[in-house]
């Protein structure tokens, strides 16, 4: 195992667990009473902790994709809650503070680290594909 891959997985797991903790804390301190949104916070928290733990054991592509989906989904939910609302629930700005900003930073961090980790693989795949494709004559 390459040390950079392990370091990336550890960083993603830590940031994902931090995001899960924020969602758990918000759930416990009031979001649990918001219909549907409370349940979504509980699912986000549970899935974040589970994927973070599993990333410590395995660096499978599916787990990395799951981490990206959780982080991206949380960011989309945050954006929706401040624009059109989520099941009638809306918020403004970076409230609750500092949890909202911390959550955004953690989730963006997950996506950035995963992008950096996937970039060399994607470049190799694109180069291989370009080298092995046969030109079509029209």
Closest CA to 4 of 122, 119, 106: 119
**2-24 confidence digits (pLDDT tens):** 898 999 999 999 999 999 999 99
pLDDT at res. 138: 64
Q: Given pLDDT bands bounded at 50, 70 and 90, which one contains residue 136?
A: low
Helix (H) or strand (E) holding 73: helix 61-82
Buried b (16+ CB within 10 A) or exposed e, 73-85: ebbebbeebbeee
Q: Give residue 124's pLDDT.
A: 87
Mean pLDDT throughout 60-66? Answer: 95
- Kindly tell me if the per-residue pLDDT of 98 is higher than 60: yes
């Amino acid at each position: 195992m390459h040390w950079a891959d392990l370091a990336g997985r550890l960083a993603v797991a830590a940031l994902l667990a931090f995001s899960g903790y924020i969602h758990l804390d918000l759930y416990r301190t009031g979001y649990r009473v918001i219909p549907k949104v409370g349940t979504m916070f509980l699912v986000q928290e549970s899935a974040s902790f589970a994927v973070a733990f599993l990333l410590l054991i395995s660096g499978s592509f599916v787990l990395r994709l799951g981490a990206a989906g959780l982080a991206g989904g949380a960011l989309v939910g945050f954006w929706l809650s401040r624009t059109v609302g989520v099941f009638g629930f809306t918020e403004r700005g970076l409230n609750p503070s500092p949890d909202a900003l911390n959550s955004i930073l953690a989730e963006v961090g997950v996506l950035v680290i995963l992008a950096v980790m996937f970039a060399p693989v994607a470049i190799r795949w694109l180069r291989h594909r370009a080298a092995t494709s046969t030109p079509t004559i029209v």
